[in-house]
């Protein structure tokens, strides 16, 4: 009986892992498709969700559809970037859920926990999309969805300093230790609402941990696939690397240096 149960547990983990891989693949496929189908109305110009090419960005009226389309893009991007780093927590939940079900104890499906996690990032995506459209209206974004050097320098310095903060360390610790996180927050929840809330809470910790890194998308380009991949890998390494906190600090130092360089480059013509 024990061998059969273990085989079921392994199969269940494989099913959940396959679902996570498929979800990640679909998200990245959409990003590649979107990057390859950006509209080029004129040389050096590009259009994407939330990036209308109206006459004067600052004078154009606020369009809810712009925010909605940009929110979809950001949500898919966050799913593609964050699913790999969330996988250990989701797989742990799946294993415990399968064990409980095998013991005859009702347990909410793993999908509810994952849904709560991605719900948190959906909320973040809406805020990011609103910021993108606002920056566009204020003419602070280039057509390639990048901020100018001085704004980019400020963002890099802000993100770099945050990488050294205690709040970053505390939230990263929550994300790096799945079982400890669950134990600190009341243990596994058997009901649907409790499972959804636990996933939402985990997602909120991840957002507080990674929000500054996500802002870097405005520096490297929101549709720069290599930049998106680099940030996704950095987030993953911070969570699984044995010295993740040291990696965060090293990254922070590089970001601050990069920000100072951009500001210096912007000031040079003014001297």
How do the domains of the chain map onto residue ranges?
A: 2-270
> Any idea how long the chain is?
271
Question: What is the predicted pLDDT for the residue at 61?
Answer: 46
pTM for this model (two decimals): 0.81
d(CA 236, CA 264): 31
Question: What is the predicted pLDDT for the residue at 43?
Answer: 37
Q: Tens of pLDDT along the chain (271 residues)?
A: 445 444 544 566 677 888 889 999 999 999 999 888 764 433 333 444 544 444 444 434 456 788 888 899 999 999 999 999 999 888 888 877 777 666 666 677 788 999 999 999 999 999 999 988 888 877 777 655 667 778 888 999 999 999 999 999 999 988 888 878 887 877 777 788 888 999 999 999 999 999 999 999 988 888 889 999 999 999 999 998 888 889 999 999 999 999 999 888 888 776 5
Nearest to 49 by CA among 229, 228, 222: 222
Alpha helical stretches, state H, 103-177: 110-137, 149-162, 166-176
Looking from the CA of 146 toward its CB, the CA atoms found within 13 Å total 17
Do residues 172 and 236 make contact, with C-beta atoms less than 8 angstroms apart? Answer: no
Question: What is the predicted pLDDT for the residue at 144?
Answer: 56
Question: What is the predicted pLDDT for the residue at 147?
Answer: 72
């Amino acid at each position: 009986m024990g061998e059969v149960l273990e085989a079921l547990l392994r199969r269940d983990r494989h099913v959940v892992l396959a679902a996570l891989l498929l979800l990640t693949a679909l998200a990245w496929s959409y990003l590649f498709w979107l990057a390859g189908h950006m509209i080029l109305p004129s040389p050096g110009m590009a259009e994407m969700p939330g990036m209308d090419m109206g006459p004067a960005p600052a004078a154009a009226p606020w369009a809810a559809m712009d925010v909605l389309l940009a929110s979809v893009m950001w949500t898919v991007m966050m799913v593609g970037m964050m699913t790999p780093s969330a996988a250990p927590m989701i797989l742990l939940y799946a294993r415990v859920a399968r064990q409980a079900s095998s013991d005859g104890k009702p347990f909410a499906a793993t999908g509810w926990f994952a849904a709560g996690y991605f719900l948190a990032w959906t909320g973040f995506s809406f805020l990011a999309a609103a910021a993108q459209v606002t920056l566009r209206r204020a003419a602070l974004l280039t057509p390639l969805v990048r901020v100018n050097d001085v704004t980019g320098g400020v963002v890099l310095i802000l993100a770099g300093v945050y990488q050294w903060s205690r709040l970053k360390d505390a939230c990263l610790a929550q994300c790096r230790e799945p079982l400890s996180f669950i134990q600190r927050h009341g243990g596994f929840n058997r009901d649907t609402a409790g499972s959804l809330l636990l996933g939402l809470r985990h997602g909120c910790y991840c957002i507080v941990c990674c929000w500054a890194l996500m802002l870097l998308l405005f520096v490297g380009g929101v549709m720069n696939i290599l930049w998106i991949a680099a940030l996704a890998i950095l987030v993953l390494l911070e969570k699984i690397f044995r010295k993740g906190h040291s990696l965060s600090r090293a990254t922070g130092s590089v970001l601050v240096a990069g920000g100072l360089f951009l500001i210096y480059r912007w000031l040079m013509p003014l001297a």
